[in-house]
Amino acid sequence: MQALIVIDVQNDFCPGGALAVPQGDTIVQGINALMPDFDAVILTQDWHPAGHSSFASSHEGAEAYSVTKMPYGDQVLWPDHCIQGSMGAKFHTELHRDRADLIMRKGYNPAIDSYSAFFENDHETPTGLEGYLRTRGIDHLVMVGLALDFCVNFSAVDAANLGFEVEVRQALTRAIDLDGSLAAAVLGMRAAGVTLV
């Protein structure tokens, strides 16, 4: 059984959004076109409370895109984005959200960011997605969405480490590319056994 996992195709990650990924909106039609080919379609939605600890604005004097130490490790500090219920947190208007079996929200814990759809950034607090997929008999995942070097990367590596067969369709992703994050992500995904197509 195969699932399409669509990562964070939300307004704030598209041009004009708070954490815009260059050309983030150009992948939407291609993702829509893929959906009918899968046994399950799952959308993830970055979903932060106001004042989230991953926001630079929550850290006195910190600049957006700087890195800070959190109890669970290094954390990039982002512009405020994907605040629960905001326009920026909504899916891109053209994304076929009605085809989704499951919408998996993440990043709702005020103290821990969650790039991955499987674990929060402490790498141990589960989101529940693994159990959902396993109980549905899904073993093969195709991942697309935003951003390739953050949420797609962390989701793909976690899924591969959990034993899923994982393929990332690179043409249906776009990257932020912060200080070499894209090259590091590609190496990390390959090392974890993710197939990059």
CA distance 40 to 63: 40
Q: How far is CA 29 from CA 9, 34, 36, 149, 187, in A?
A: 11, 9, 13, 21, 28
Q: By CB under 6 A, which span of 26-34, 132-140, 142-150, 183-191 interacts with ligand VGL?
A: 142-150
- DSSP string computed for 109-146: STT----SSSB-TTS-SB-SHHHHHHHTT--EEEEEEE
Of the candidates 81, 97, 100, 77, the residue with the CA atom closest to the CA atom of residue 89: 81
Nearer residue to ligand VGL within complex by CB, 38 or 150: 150
Among 147, 160, 166, 172, binds ligand VGL (CB under 6 A): 147
**Residue 151 binding ligand VGL, by CB under 6 A:** yes
Give the distance from CA 106 to its chain's centroid. 9
In the residue annotation, 151 being an active-site residue is answered as yes
Helix axes 153-161, 181-192, angle to 10 degrees: 20
In the residue annotation, 8 being an active-site residue is answered as yes
Nearer residue to ligand VGL within complex by CB, 39 or 148: 148
**Residue 46 binding Zn ion, by CB under 5 A:** yes
**Candidate list 12, 46, 80, 151, residue with the active-site label:** 151
Residue 119 interaction partner, one of Zn ion, ligand VGL, none, beta carbon < 5-8 Å per kind: none
**Residue 46 binding ligand VGL, by CB under 6 A:** yes
Q: How far is the CB of 119 from Zn ion (least distance, A)?
A: 15
Residue 155's SS3 state is helix
Q: Kindly list the residues in this chain that would bind ligand VGL in the complex (CB under 6 A).
A: 8, 13, 46, 78, 115, 146-147, 150-151
